[in-house]
Amino acid sequence: MRAVDIAILGAGAVGQLICRQLIAAGEHVGFIARHPHGSVSQQNSQAQQYSQSQPLSFTPLVASEANNSPQPIDYCVPIVATNALDHLRLVVVCVKAYQVIDALLPLLNQLPRQCHILLLHNGMGPHLAIAPLIEKVDNRGLSLGTTSQGVLRQARWQIKHTGKGLTQLGHFTGTELAEHYRNAILTAIPNSEWVNAIVPCLWQKLAVNAAINPLTALHQCPNGALAKADFNEIIKGILDELVMVAAQDGVPLDKPLLHDRIYQVIQLTAANFSSMHQDVAHQRQTEIDQINGYICERAQAHGLTAPINAKLCEQIKLLAVTA
């Protein structure tokens, strides 16, 4: 039996979706078990006990021809112990942005040198901390990605695919991902593409998140409410600061195009509630530091300020404390 050679780090909604898509494409995939000290995932207050395999339930986006509505598919995923990582050649990191460092650091010395790492999370920032650590290990490869696929976690091990979305992946540093694994992940994930310059793509996704996430959380509203004229000025201000900072980082962005993209997402997801809205509503830690906070961090690195984004960070953190 062929050993698992692709592992998912982070068994949240996105991690389970990517895992299911890879398995459906015939790949040998497993989840990396929780770190014994609980640092890989702390989404639940009680530690999840892993066995050698984990049963999951997946409801596809499209119904089969035999059914009028999509039916759940039950399947099992192997669990890879942290002391048995020798066969891994690709690790896809799907934890929350603020968990990436703590989740990955304990594993770096246990992963084989030829194992490539792909970060697939909202926001930006962890790649700058991880890259120098990756490069120390025989120039190990690091790729980055972003996905807009819709997925709803209905229970701990039960998800529903709710939207296609675009997935963009690309090389960042070190040894490039082997062609076999690059083709495997592009084949498995619908509407996915490998891009030559991934960082600008991440900035574009960041612009959407920076506008929609904090405003919907602060005003306790669905995405569609941001189409009102009341929000025009602050969305413009968020975008102005982001474009300015990205330019200082050597990433020129098309401001009118980004503006249109933000409002297109607002329209297409009008009835949805953003992840930050849901995090605040459920009193969970948010990714504000890796979204609007990243804009402020990069502004500071260039001796600049981003007061509108800084104010949003302050407001979200205060809201999270008082929720």
Q: How far apart are CA 250 and CA 252, in angstroms?
A: 6
The pLDDT score that the predictor gives to residue 68 is 61
The pLDDT score that the predictor gives to residue 250 is 97
Cα diameter, the chain: 61
Mean of the per-residue pLDDT values of the chain = 90
Q: What is the pLDDT of residues 266-286, one digit of tens each?
A: 998 898 899 999 999 989 999
Q: What is the pLDDT of residues 165-199, one digit of tens each?
A: 899 999 999 999 999 999 999 999 999 999 999 99
How is the chain split among helix, strand and coil, in percent rounded to 5?
45, 20, 40
Burial class (CB in 10 A: 0-12, 13-18, 19+), 266: buried
Residues 6+ apart with CB under 8 A from 225: 216, 219, 231
Residues 6+ apart with CB under 8 A from 300: none
pLDDT of residue 38 exceeding 70: no
pLDDT of residue 67 exceeding 80: no
Strand 167-173: give its sheet, edge to edge.
Answer: 150-155, 158-163, 53-59, 73-80, 29-32, 6-9, 90-93, 116-120, 142-147, 167-173, 192-194
Any idea which residue has 């498995």 for tokens?
A: 188
pLDDT of residue 45 exceeding 50: no
pLDDT of residue 134 exceeding 90: no
Distances (CA, A) of 57 to 76, 88, 155, 157, 190: 9, 25, 9, 6, 19
Q: What is the mean pLDDT of residues 116-132?
A: 95
pLDDT of residue 151 exceeding 70: yes
The answer to whether the CB of 209 falls within 8 A of the CB of 122 is: yes
pLDDT of residue 121 exceeding 90: yes
- Exposed e or buried b per residue across 114-146, where buried means at least 16 C-beta atoms within 10 angstroms of its C-beta: ebbbbbbbbbbbbbeebbeebeeeeebbbbbbb
pLDDT of residue 209 exceeding 70: yes
**Which is more confident, 61 or 66?**
61
Choose the catalytic residue: 96, 136, 160, 205: 205
Q: What is the pLDDT of residues 23-35, one digit of tens each?
A: 999 999 999 986 5
In the annotation, is 205 catalytic?
yes
Distances (CA, A) of 39 to 43, 120, 167, 233, 270: 10, 18, 27, 40, 35
Dig out the tokens for 47 from the structure: 């530690």
> Lowest-pLDDT range, 38-47, 189-198, 289-298?
38-47
Residues 6+ apart with CB under 8 A from 221: 277
Q: What percent of the chain has pLDDT over 90?
A: 76
Dig out the tokens for 203 from the structure: 């900035």
What domains can be seen in the chain, in order of their start residue?
6-196 (3.40.50.720), 200-322 (1.10.1040.10)
pLDDT of residue 47 exceeding 70: no
pLDDT of residue 41 exceeding 70: no
The pLDDT score that the predictor gives to residue 46 is 31
The answer to whether the CB of 184 falls within 8 A of the CB of 6 is: yes
pLDDT of residue 156 exceeding 80: yes
Q: What percent of the chain has pLDDT over 70?
A: 90
The pLDDT score that the predictor gives to residue 1 is 54
The pLDDT score that the predictor gives to residue 321 is 59
Element (H, E) at 143: strand 142-147
Q: Is the dihedral of CA 127, 130, 136, 142 positive or negative?
A: negative
